[in-house]
Amino acid sequence: MIDVIRSLNDVINEFHLKHRRNIFLVMNTPTQLSDRLPENVPGPWFITDACIICGLCDELAPGIFRPLEDFSFNHVYHQPVNDEEEELAREAAESCPVEAICRE
């Protein structure tokens, strides 16, 4: 019985080593797993329905991100138009805990 468990454990470890990179890539491509919210204003920056409305992005860049009226998600209500705003949006995207902020 112990031999069977050891063999099974070896198989699991081998699978994990072989596929870890693929699992990591899938988990870190939010646009493949979630949808762009239609409420985002047109433009390169958008928030997906992965948003958990933690409030971080509208705190970091209140001129770009804000909650929807029903507080279901945050969205982009103003597209960055200069380097300073681009940097704020990038900083918010890097800080988003669920990687819901994307740029085309």
Residues that bind ligand SF4 (CB under 6 A): 47, 51-57, 65, 74, 96-98, 100-101
In angstroms, what is the minimal distance from the CB of 59 to ligand SF4?
A: 9
DSSP state of 41: P
Residue with tokens 């969205």: 75
b or e along 22-32 (b: 16 or more beta carbons within 10 Å of the residue's beta carbon)?
eeeeeeeebee
CB of 77 to ligand SF4, least distance (A): 12
Count of Cβ atoms closer than 10 Å to residue 101 Cβ: 27
Q: Which pair of tokens denotes residue 102?
A: 């994307």
**Structure tokens, 36:** 């762009």
Nearer to ligand SF4, 26 or 98 (CB): 98
CB of 52 to ligand SF4, least distance (A): 5
User: Which one, 14 or 59, has the nearer CB to ligand SF4?
Assistant: 59
Min CB(84)–ligand SF4 separation in Å: 19
Cβ proximity to ligand SF4: between 42 and 100 the closer is: 100
CB nearer ligand SF4, residue 2 or residue 42: 42
Given a contact cutoff of 8 angstroms between Cβ atoms, the answer to whether 37 and 101 are in contact is no
